């Protein structure tokens, strides 16, 4: 049942006076009535505004006559079955061209009207302008495409695995990189989960099933390494890690995680030096993947659940996906920075931020004095960038800042990053929210601390970290 069904139902039985009152009450869409010949007999003000035409040009004229030369199609042919009582209703989308050649996307809904003797008395039509909705849908599709392209270039595969109370499990999401590792498609695994279990080496299967059962029972972090034999005959070592997603709580538990093909790492175990190098790299990758999952992964899963429940608009979904991609850019740029140089990462961050805000009136000023800074581990760089990102987002969203200054200096083994703005500043009774708690935690994890200072106008936030050579 749609929100327009009550209107249709009332239109079928009410008097003309009541119908006219109803039409004028429903101002969010164009509503009009046609007689059995397709002539307009009643319209509301929204109809006049939507088609940019006078009431006199509508009443008594055929519906097709107001569509413009580019719209002469089978509209009335579609309406005729309603009058003949062949069908109950019509619902479709189309592009309308007004007489001034301007266009809009419309959602067309119609239902037949009948008198007390069940004889046709015409048709009631509702047209909603869905131009903005179509624009958001196109932007959402574009964001999803870009998101898929970016996740395809990650060194790991991402997944969501549903665990049911009866012991069954099935993938509810599988990235294309995970499909490449398994050499199985998402559709194949959804249809038959045994395809996955049959790939696992018998020697590893018992341990994997027991670990899976134990983690499901206790809700602990699941981590495992096991071997699979793919359909092409390749033997691969797989490393996987996942945890229950609190944003997708329900009758069954969703485990969100990642898989990495570590076959090459295993093949180098005979070389102790190379094994130690591979181990350090693996740990660093794992920490980054945890940050990746904690960042955009939980946001995306939460957004998907809200969308399924109908509690998230297309515009909100597009915004969430944009924020996810921005977070993913930071992780990918940090991961790709082989020199582990903070200055390079900051330059990349500045470039992406300026691209995202090129339509914004906020002025950004940058100053980097980092010539002597030593190489830093990727996790430290990632924390620094995410702290800067959170502070800038707060200045844009909450402080209404028109100018933001970002500086980073290194001297005497100390890194100082300062972000100041000319916004409305922090309230007198200030309580740290989730975002500020997160950046304080990140600063602590890299051995630093944050300093907040009220300015006139605005706020200044400083990150101070001692860098050990």
Arithmetic mean of pLDDT, 129-156: 79
**371-398 pLDDT tens trace:** 889 988 888 888 898 899 889 888 888 8
> pLDDT band at residue 93, thresholds of 50, 70 and 90?
confident
Arithmetic mean of pLDDT, 398-418: 91
Q: Can you state the angle between helices 378-397 and 272-292, rounded to 10 degrees?
A: 10
Closest by CA to 321, choosing from 157, 175, 139, is: 139
Mean pLDDT of the chain: 81
Backbone angles phi, psi at 304, to 5 degrees: -65, -40
Are 357 and 364 in contact, with CB atoms under 8 Å apart?
Answer: yes
Pairing of strands 363-369, 253-261: unpaired
Arithmetic mean of pLDDT, 5-31: 64
> pLDDT band at residue 249, thresholds of 50, 70 and 90?
low
Closest by CA to 411, choosing from 374, 362, 372, 458, is: 372
Q: Please give the Cα distance from 263 to 283 (Å, whole number).
A: 16
Are 33 and 121 in contact, with CB atoms under 8 Å apart?
Answer: no
Q: Please give the Cα distance from 136 to 319 (Å, whole number).
A: 10
Q: Residue 261's CB: how many other CB atoms inside 10 A?
A: 21
pLDDT for residue 442 is more than 80: yes
Contacts of 188 (CB under 8 A, 6+ apart): 195
**320-350 pLDDT tens trace:** 677 677 777 777 667 665 667 889 889 988 9
Contacts of 243 (CB under 8 A, 6+ apart): 221, 222, 255, 256, 257
Instruction: Give the pLDDT of residue 20.
Output: 61
Would you call 289 helix, strand, or coil by DSSP? helix
pLDDT for residue 22 is more than 70: no
Q: Tokens for 404?
A: 């933001």
Q: Please give the Cα distance from 342 to 415 (Å, whole number).
A: 10
Domains annotated on the chain, with CATH:
5-129 (3.30.450.20), 337-469 (3.30.565.10)
**Alpha-carbon torsion (229, 233, 236, 242), positive or negative:** negative
Are 446 and 436 in contact, with CB atoms under 8 Å apart?
Answer: no
Spell out the alpha helix ranges (H) of 293-377.
298-308, 314-336, 342-356
Arithmetic mean of pLDDT, 415-443: 81
Are 36 and 84 in contact, with CB atoms under 8 Å apart?
Answer: no
Q: Please give the Cα distance from 86 to 214 (Å, whole number).
A: 59
Task: Give the count of alpha carbons within 13 A of 346, CB side only.
Answer: 22
């Amino acid at each position: 049942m749609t929100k327009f069904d009550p209107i249709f139902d009332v239109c079928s039985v009410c008097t003309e006076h009541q119908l006219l009152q109803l039409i004028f009450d429903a101002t969010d869409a164009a509503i009009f009535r046609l007689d059995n010949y397709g002539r307009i007999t009643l319209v509301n003000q929204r109809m006049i505004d939507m088609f940019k035409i006078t009431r006199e040009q509508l009443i008594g004229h055929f519906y097709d006559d107001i569509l413009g030369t580019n719209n002469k199609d089978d509209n009335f042919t579609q309406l005729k079955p309603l009058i003949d009582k062949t069908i109950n209703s019509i619902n479709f989308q189309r592009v309308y061209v007004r007489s001034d050649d301007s266009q809009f996307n419309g959602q067309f809904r119609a239902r037949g009207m009948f008198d007390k003797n069940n004889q046709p008395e015409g048709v009631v039509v509702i047209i909603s302008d869905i131009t903005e909705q179509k624009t958001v849908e196109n932007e959402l599709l574009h964001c999803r495409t870009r998101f898929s392209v970016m996740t395809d270039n990650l060194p790991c595969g991402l997944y969501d695995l549903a665990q049911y109370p009866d012991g069954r499990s099935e993938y509810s999401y599988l990235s294309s990189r995970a499909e490449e590792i398994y050499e199985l498609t998402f559709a194949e695994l959804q249809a038959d989960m045994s395809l996955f279990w049959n790939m696992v080496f018998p020697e590893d299967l018992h341990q994997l099933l027991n670990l899976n059962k134990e983690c499901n029972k206790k809700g602990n972090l699941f981590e495992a390494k096991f071997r699979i034999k793919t359909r092409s005959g390749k033997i691969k070592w797989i490393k996987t890690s996942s945890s229950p997603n609190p944003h997708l709580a329900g009758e069954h538990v969703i485990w969100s995680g990642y898989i990495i093909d570590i076959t090459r790492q295993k093949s180098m175990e005979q070389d102790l030096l190379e094994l130690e190098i591979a181990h350090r790299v693996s740990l660093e990758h794992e920490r980054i993947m945890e940050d990746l999952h904690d960042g955009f992964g939980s946001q995306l899963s939460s957004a998907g659940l809200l969308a399924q429940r109908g509690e998230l608009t297309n515009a909100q979904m597009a915004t969430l996906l944009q924020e996810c991609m921005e977070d993913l850019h930071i992780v990918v740029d940090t991961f790709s920075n082989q020199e582990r140089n903070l200055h390079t990462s900051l330059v990349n961050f500045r470039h992406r931020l300026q691209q995202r805000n090129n339509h914004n009136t906020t002025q950004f000023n940058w100053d980097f004095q980092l010539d002597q800074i030593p190489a830093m581990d990727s996790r430290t760089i990632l924390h620094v960038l995410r702290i800067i990102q959170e502070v800038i987002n707060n200045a844009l969203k909450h402080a209404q800042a028109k100018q933001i200054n970002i500086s980073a200096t290194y001297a005497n083994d100390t890194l100082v990053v300062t972000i100041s703005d000319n916004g409305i500043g922090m309230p007198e009774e200030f309580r740290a929210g989730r975002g500020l708690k997160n950046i304080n935690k990140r600063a602590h994890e890299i051995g630093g601390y944050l300093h907040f200072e009220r300015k006139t106008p605005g706020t200044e936030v400083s990150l101070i970290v001692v860098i050990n050579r």
